[in-house]
Structure 1
Amino acid sequence: MWHRCRKNELDPIHGLSRRTLYEIVRVEETRNYLWPGAVSESLRRWRSFVHEPNHRLWDPRYPGCTEWLCCGDPIRARENLEGAMRALPRRAGRELRVLVLALDERY
């Protein structure tokens, strides 16, 4: 079920509870390595990379244009997700980890 997070009006992450979405917003606001919407953007970027047929051809020496909003770095996106999962309370971290590990399995 999709819930819109009213606190920052960002698109929510499908498959996460309202409580977890709230915790994600809190973590994004309190960690200097994240920004509002970082978890959602990182998950979207990691998902699109993993589902890309040629994803194993990613070469970090040629990261595209290096602009996060344009090409982004899928490895950095995965690192952002890892940081968020570790910073979240246990229950919220587990919910997010289920989504991320499913993508990791595919990768």
Structure 2
Amino acid sequence: MSARACAEILRVERDHHDCRPGLRDGLWEGAVEDALRQYRAFLRQPGRYLDLCFPASPHPGSSLVDVAYARDVLEEALRSLSRPSRAELGRVLAPLDSELFRRTLPDPYAHRHAEPGSAWWHRRLYDGEYRW
């Protein structure tokens, strides 16, 4: 990504300085980098299909283990960026999103637990949920 887009991401993160990792709909300094790192690590796992994982502990830093939450953080950043920077980050996310969609299965019971209107990544199977 360009230096301009990176600087704008840093500014957006600093504007959300009152938020901590683990808070929904919040950013913190380094949030985009942390979320991208977790997203990529999740997709590097072996196997044809992957199950999303719930955070292992209530510690705020572990919330990014849930790749759906990591993707929420990235979506929050996208909404906060100018059009050119949003496009740059969007180009980084597009292949990751395609891979996540391809390697995760839809949750047939998402209508029971996902919030109405939630993003598609919240409607994928989590570890330990029903398999068809």
TM-score by length of 2: 0.61
Q: Which runs of 5+ in 1 are unaligned?
A: 1-15
The letter for the 2-side match of 1:93 is R
Asked whether 1:37 is paired with 2:22, we answer no
Aligned residues with identical type, % of pairs: 34
Moved more, 68-77 or 21-30: 68-77
Summarize deviations over 1:30-72 as a string: whole Å, max 9, x none.
Answer: 1341111000000110111122125622244xx3224354573
Q: Would the aligned equivalents of 2:53 and 2:66 in 1 still touch at CA under 8 Å?
A: no
C-alpha contact 1:20 1:92 (8 A) present in aligned 2: yes
Which one has the largest radius of gyration?
2
The equivalent residue for 1:3 is none
* Equivalent residue in structure 2 for 1:102, among 77, 95, 98: 95
Unaligned runs of at least 5 residues, structure 2: 20-25, 101-132
Q: Which moved more, 1:49-58 or 1:35-44?
A: 49-58
Which residue number in structure 2 is paired with residue 18 of structure 1?
3
- Stretches of 4+ aligned residues off by more than 3 angstroms: 66-71
Aligned length: 90
Aligned-residue RMSD, C-alpha: 1.9
Q: Please, which of 41, 59, 68 is the counterpart of residue 67 of structure 1? A: 59
The residue aligned with 1:56 is 50
